[in-house]
């Protein structure tokens, strides 16, 4: 099963989530794909993700996490023993998102909410200090204007890594990686 985890203020309507969903459906494997709408609070986001994989063997689950979704994927991969593909992942959202405290709006749904210190504390409690690099495929672009790709390269040192020059936070090269993602997730034809 491949579980796409979207980023901060995003949703299952995001471009990468839709591309991956269509790919899985076109392959006749739509039943092996999930993309839950993640609540803004870290605790509720984790509960939502765990509900999406309830009853599944963790060894048969691969998370595909973008930005904040990559942060959640890391927490769950280490907790459950799953594999994860990380797209320009957030490393320390409790620090990086502090400047966004206040009113926020989901980019796809338009739903407003208040980003509070409780969100930051929730993310801080989910930080994984040590990772098993064998669990990860890391996809980075050096042109990421939101997160410094070098932070992720350091955190996931030893993981399978694809680094592209240029690009941006959305991972412009995403379509090139779909075959690699499916192979890493062990989703056959």
Note the pLDDT tens digit of each residue in 92-121.
999 999 999 999 998 888 899 999 999 999
Note the pLDDT tens digit of each residue in 166-179.
999 999 999 999 99
Note the pLDDT tens digit of each residue in 13-59.
999 999 999 999 999 999 999 999 999 999 999 999 999 999 999 99
* Mean pLDDT computed over 153-166: 97
Percent share of the chain, pLDDT over 70: 99
Percent share of the chain, pLDDT over 90: 95
Domains by residue range for the chain, with CATH: 2-184 (3.40.50.1820)
How many other C-beta atoms can be found within 10 angstroms of the C-beta atom of residue 175? 11
Q: What is the rounded CA–CA span in Å between residue 95 and residue 84?
A: 23
How many other C-beta atoms can be found within 10 angstroms of the C-beta atom of residue 170? 19
Q: What average pLDDT does the chain have? A: 96
Facing residues of 138 across strands? Answer: 86, 161
49-58's contacts with Cβ under 8 Å and 24+ in sequence apart are: 49/3, 49/5, 49/76, 50/76, 52/3, 53/1, 53/3, 56/1, 58/82
Q: Are 67 and 7 in contact (CB under 8 A)?
A: yes
Q: What is the bridge-based pairing of β-strands 112-115 and 102-105?
A: antiparallel
Structure tokens at 186: 């062990």
Note the pLDDT tens digit of each residue in 123-158.
999 999 999 999 999 999 999 999 999 999 999 999
According to DSSP, residue 175 is labeled G
């Amino acid at each position: 099963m491949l579980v796409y985890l979207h980023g901060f203020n995003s949703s299952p309507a995001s471009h990468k989530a839709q591309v991956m969903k269509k790919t899985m459906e076109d392959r006749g494997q739509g039943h092996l794909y999930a993309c839950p709408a993640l609540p803004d609070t870290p605790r509720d986001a984790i509960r939502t993700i765990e509900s999406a994989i309830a009853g599944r063997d963790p060894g048969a689950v691969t998370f595909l996490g973008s930005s904040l979704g990559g942060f959640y994927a890391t927490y769950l991969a280490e907790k459950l023993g799953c594999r994860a593909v990380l797209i320009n992942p957030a490393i320390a959202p409790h620090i990086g998102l502090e400047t966004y405290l206040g009113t926020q709006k989901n980019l796809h749904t338009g739903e407003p909410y208040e980003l509070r210190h409780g969100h930051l504390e929730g993310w801080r409690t989910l930080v994984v200090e040590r990772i098993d690099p064998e669990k990860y495929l890391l996809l980075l672009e050096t042109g990421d204007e939101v997160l410094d790709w070098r932070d992720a390269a350091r955190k996931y040192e030893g993981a399978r890594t694809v680094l592209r020059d240029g690009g941006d936070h959305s991972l412009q090269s995403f379509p090139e990686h779909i075959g690699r993602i499916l192979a890493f997730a062990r989703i056959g034809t």
